Chain A
Amino acid sequence: MARIVAALLTSHAPNITAKPEVSDPAQRARFLSSFELLRQRLERARPDRLVIFANDHLQNFFYDNMPAYCIGLADSYEAPSSGSSAFLKIPERRVPGDGVWARRLLKAGWDAGFDFAFSQELEFWDDASVPLHFLLPEATVPIVPVMTNCAAPPLPPPKRSYQLGAFVREFIEKECPRDERVALLGSGGISHWVGTPETGKINEDFDQQVLDWVRQGRGEALAGLSYEEIETGGGNGGQELRNWIAVLGAVPGCKGEVLSYEPVRDWITGAATVWLLV
């Protein structure tokens, strides 16, 4: 049986790489060293591919045609492109994809009642470029992006992301070759307010509640939050928790080891890294 060999949750924010120096040095050191620990563990897990649950920030999709869920079918992705490279201060690069595997996931989804959109060209901003910069600096593992609309309301319900994760697990275990090794990454959150009048706010109480559920393996509790509860407690950036919920849905009951939590004011994000005990 193919299996999930690693499952990770991380925050992302452009200033992690664009302006690392504006953050508190001790906070920065703790957060970045946790990313290094995640990188080492991911490497030891020897995944054949990485399914990354992430969200667009309106660089690929717009209100004229907005997918709730979209699978990337490309064999490589800009992460970042030249334009966003200048802003993110991450060298421009293409990371490998796995179009064949992604097509199989897409079709299995349709059979299972997940009407995914698909895309043969996705450009990543901090959503995937930042975590991949730290986790796969050599781009040695092909990625399969599963995008969820977290940024352009109305958004799909969080509980659907939990079901999405369960579907991805079933696909891996039932449809993939026996010796295949798959890693999962959920990118986003925790609380942050982006572009709203409350930009810069971080709600540590909300973040700690989220992390407690993650520690306890209670992804369903997180998936039970409504759009309004997330918006109030975690801000519009908190809606990215859908990406975490999808991973938690793929590894139900697995407890999380929180490697870092830093409410970094100048990155305007409650920033965390989690290794799930799969």
Chain B
Amino acid sequence: MSDYQLNKLLFAMAGEHKMVESVSEESDLASYELSQAEKDALKTGDIARLYELGANPYLIRRVFRPRFKV
């Protein structure tokens, strides 16, 4: 399942305590087998789309914290 790779990327970033608006560097994405939809959502920091795509919501919250209003 591709969402495993998506979560793997987010897990790695959370482990480094990274909090970002988006993940846009190709070098950050290169190690993971991601679909185009996943890449697009990461690059635009689209947290709702990431959720739809199967990203664990705790990891979404952790990594994309600046994207949340509360």
Residues in A lying within 8 Å of B, measured CB to CB: 57-59, 62-63, 83-84, 86-87, 151-152, 194-197, 199-200, 236, 265-266, 268
Contact = CB atoms under 8 A, between A and B. Distances in A.
Nearest to A61: B11
Given A58-B11, A200-B70, A236-B57, 8 more contacts: A57-B62, A58-B59, A59-B15, A62-B7, A194-B61, A195-B59, A196-B51, A199-B61
Interface in B35-70: 47-48, 51, 56-62, 68-70
Contacts, number: 53
A195 B17 contact: no
19 contacts: A58-B14, A58-B56, A62-B8, A63-B4, A83-B16, A152-B56, A194-B61, A195-B47, A195-B56, A195-B57, A195-B58, A195-B61, A197-B48, A199-B57, A199-B68, A200-B69, A236-B57, A265-B70, A268-B70
Contacts of B69: 200
A57 B48 CA distance: 19
- Dominant secondary structure of chain A at its interface with chain B: loop
A194 B57 contact: yes
Contacts of A194: 57-58, 61
Contacts of B51: 195-197
Contacts of A84: 17
A87 B8 CA distance: 22
Contact of B7 (A59, A63, A83): A63
Interface of B: 4, 7-8, 11, 14-17, 47-48, 51, 56-62, 68-70
A76 B9 CA distance: 29
A152 B56 CA distance: 7
- Dominant secondary structure of chain B at its interface with chain A: helix
Nearest to A15: B70
A148 B4 CA distance: 21
Contacts of A62: 7-8, 11
A86 B17 contact: yes
A265 B57 CA distance: 18
B6 to A, nearest CB: 11
Contacts of B4: 63
B70 A58 contact: no
A214 to B, nearest CB: 25
Contacts of B48: 197
A268 B58 CA distance: 13
Contacts of B14: 58-59
A23 B48 CA distance: 25
Contacts of A152: 56
Contacts of A236: 57-58
Contacts of B17: 83-84, 86-87
A57 B65 CA distance: 15
